[in-house]
Structure 1
Amino acid sequence: MFALLRLSVIGFVVLTIVYFILSLYSRSVRRGKLEAEWEEEGMTGDRDAFVEAGLQDYDGSLRRKLILGVYIVPVCLIALIIYLINFH
């Protein structure tokens, strides 16, 4: 029982680190695309406001929510492995 608790705590910490890194990377890529779109279309006005508005749209997007799969997929795989080893 203690081993499962230790696995859960360490796994949660590792998955949280992976989530934050992946989240920051994805946001950085989105920012780059918005800045490239600004340059390509030759827009006028406040570039920073355009980028911030795009990032606010990104924060509510499905892609942002799919990053939470970092928690769901490994937990489901571990549960499946435990089930298959013990009950199959």
Structure 2
Amino acid sequence: MDAKHKEEIHRIITEREGVVVSIHKVSLEESPFTESNNSNYIYKISYEKNSRQYTAWYRSTKTVNDIHSASRKGYPEQWIFEE
């Protein structure tokens, strides 16, 4: 897992008052996303918030210098929260 993606996942979950339990890189077919390609990574994140477990999904970009920048070939960064 890219360290920048891991930092971003922890930052976003913390902003939502959650605590990351686990992060797994998954395929498009294992996720709720309908679009992705070789310019994206998809992560399944388990986290706790208010003593309950939740799942979040993060489609990241593989752009080296700016993980928030969409590449010309890939799909933009996107989050899905199952709360």
TM-score scaled by length of structure 2: 0.32
Q: Higher helix share goes to which structure?
A: 1
TM-score scaled by length of structure 1: 0.30
Q: Higher strand share goes to which structure?
A: 2
> Max radius of gyration: which structure?
1
Higher relative contact order (CA 8 A, sep 6+): 1
